[in-house]
Amino acid sequence: MTENTWTRWPSREALGRNGVAPPRRLLAWAVRLLVLGMLLWGVFSDDHVRGWRVAGVAVGVITAALVSWALFRTTYAHRLRPSLALVTVLMGIAIAAQATGFRVPALVIWCGCGVTALERLPLAAALPVASVALASYSAVSNDEWLTTAVTVVGMVLAGYVLRLDAEARGNAQRLLVQERAARAAEAESAALAERARIAREIHDVLAHSLSAQLVHLEAARLLIEGGADRPEILERVVAARGMAREGLAETRQALSALRGEMSPLEDFLSELVAETDGAGVTVSGESRPLPAEASQAVRRVAQEALTNVRKHAPGAEVRIRLEYAVHQVTLDVRDSGGSPGELTASGAGYGLLGMRERAELLGGSLEAGPGEEGFVVTLKVPV
């Protein structure tokens, strides 16, 4: 054994009463009552206990009980010197009892000191204490040497088994506390992840809606500055109002999605392209429900890609392809290109960056860049 093993105290969980089953507590109290009964029987069964000796014996028994209780408290607090002092006091009481003719109480106290030391003290201190206590028991015992030897060995084994059992119980208590802490941390992490998911959903919906409104409102501003006719300006304002309505509807849809009430992905894409001239959608592979996060990622990327087409290549044809594979779903959005729109320079380019971050959080990827004709956005999400 290492030096740490010799000097290490049994854990406080092992020395305490937490985690002890009710039957074991009853057994422990039964043993204590048995020891107390043996002490009282050994004291008061002698015929010479008369008069003032009764009071002295009662004081001795009460003192031994109080010292034993204090020993349990100091060992629980891992205080070595007070514990050794209290053990010394108990063995002194045993010596006094033996000297005054109370052999049975002395034997009981010595055996109790030996077992308690092995159970509750560091081994470096427990072995000397147990050796002195059990050696004193052996010297006073009137039994045959073989009986005495078997009794001493039994006491040593009992003390060490009690120590191992207490350590096992203490380890179980610590593991239980760690498991509860881990569960609490996991629940907190799940709550934070859910809050982050809700924040992303609300942000993506608002970013898409407000960006689309900005397109039309900025166009209206340019038309006003250019002295355009009232119908043209009104058309842009009406379009912005329509985008505001759509944003409100998308916000409600996002809230429904957070509650697990999402419409089929194919229906969503069909409604999305119906709002854009020259756009179409094709679906390949075996259609199936997707996890909420993956489905929302596909929806948001499709929205962002169409918004970018309206902003940077108005009038371009758009083809959306949704492919279901065994382990992933792929969304491909391609436009035919076109002359830059009035609002090409508007925006900071954060939309696709946010979509890429969303895809990476799901273990997928998003690629965006020029294609053969126009611009291509490809999202791959594992499912």
Nearest Cα neighbor of 109 from 173, 64, 154, 158 is: 64
Q: At what angle do helices 103-120 and 145-225 cross, to 10 degrees?
A: 30
Among 142, 158, 192, which residue terminates a domain? 142
What percentage of residues in the chain have a pLDDT greater than 70? 78
CATH number at residue 327: 3.30.565.10
Cα separation of the two ends of the chain: 52
Total domains in the chain come to: 2
347 versus 47: the higher-pLDDT residue is: 47
State both tokens at 370. 């020029």
Let me know if residue 221 belongs to a domain.
no
pLDDT of the residue at 160 = 87
pLDDT of the residue at 309 = 82
Nearest Cα neighbor of 295 from 329, 337, 323 is: 329
79 versus 228: the higher-pLDDT residue is: 79
Q: Is the pLDDT of residue 85 over 90?
A: yes
Among 142, 167, 190, which residue terminates a domain? 142
Q: Confirm if 301 and 348 have CB atoms less than 8 A apart.
A: no
Instruction: Round to whole Å and give the CA distance between 34 and 30.
Output: 6
Instruction: Round to whole Å and give the CA distance between 97 and 56.
Output: 11
DSSP for 192-250, please give it: HHHHHHHHHHHHHHHHHHHHHHHHHHHHHHHHHHTT--HHHHHHHHHHHHHHHHHHHHH
Instruction: Round to whole Å and give the CA distance between 133 and 358.
Output: 71
> What pLDDT band is residue 349 in, cutting at 50, 70 and 90?
very low
Q: Confirm if 257 and 249 have CB atoms less than 8 A apart.
A: no
Let me know if residue 101 belongs to a domain.
yes
345 versus 139: the higher-pLDDT residue is: 139
Edge-first strand listing for the sheet containing 365-370: 279-284, 318-324, 328-335, 375-382, 365-370
What percentage of residues in the chain have a pLDDT greater than 90? 8
Encode pLDDT of 149-177 as tens digits: 888 898 889 888 888 888 888 888 888 88
The range of the structural domain enclosing residue 119 comes to 3-142
Question: Residue 367 in 3-state DSSP?
Answer: strand
Specify which residues 320 forms β-bridges with.
Answer: 281, 333
Instruction: Round to whole Å and give the CA distance between 352 and 358.
Output: 10
Let me know if residue 309 belongs to a domain.
yes
Largest Cα–Cα distance in the chain?
127
* Residues near 282 by beta carbon (within 8 Å), at least 6 away in sequence: 319, 320, 321, 322
Specify which residues 319 forms β-bridges with.
Answer: 280, 334
Let me know if residue 109 belongs to a domain.
yes
40 versus 121: the higher-pLDDT residue is: 121
Q: What mean pLDDT is reported for the chain? A: 79
pLDDT of the residue at 344 = 45
Let me know if residue 191 belongs to a domain.
no
Q: Is the pLDDT of residue 29 over 60?
A: yes
196: left (phi over 0), alpha (psi -120 to 50) or beta: alpha
- Average pLDDT of the segment spanning 56-81: 85
| C-alpha of 231 from chain center | 61
Specify which residues 382 forms β-bridges with.
Answer: 328
Reported pTM: 0.48
Encode pLDDT of 193-210 as tens digits: 767 767 766 676 676 677
Among 142, 174, 192, which residue terminates a domain? 142
Instruction: Round to whole Å and give the CA distance between 383 and 376.
Output: 22
Nearest Cα neighbor of 205 from 283, 296, 270 is: 296
Question: Residue 275 in 3-state DSSP?
Answer: coil
Let me know if residue 175 belongs to a domain.
no
Question: Residue 320 in 3-state DSSP?
Answer: strand
Instruction: Round to whole Å and give the CA distance between 266 and 12.
Output: 61
Let me know if residue 186 belongs to a domain.
no
Instruction: Round to whole Å and give the CA distance between 270 and 225.
Output: 37
State both tokens at 158. 């009992």
> What pLDDT band is residue 347 in, cutting at 50, 70 and 90?
very low
Let me know if residue 201 belongs to a domain.
no
Give φ, ψ of 317 to 5 degrees. Answer: -75, 145
Q: Is the pLDDT of residue 25 over 90?
A: no
Nearest Cα neighbor of 205 from 347, 334, 320, 307 is: 307
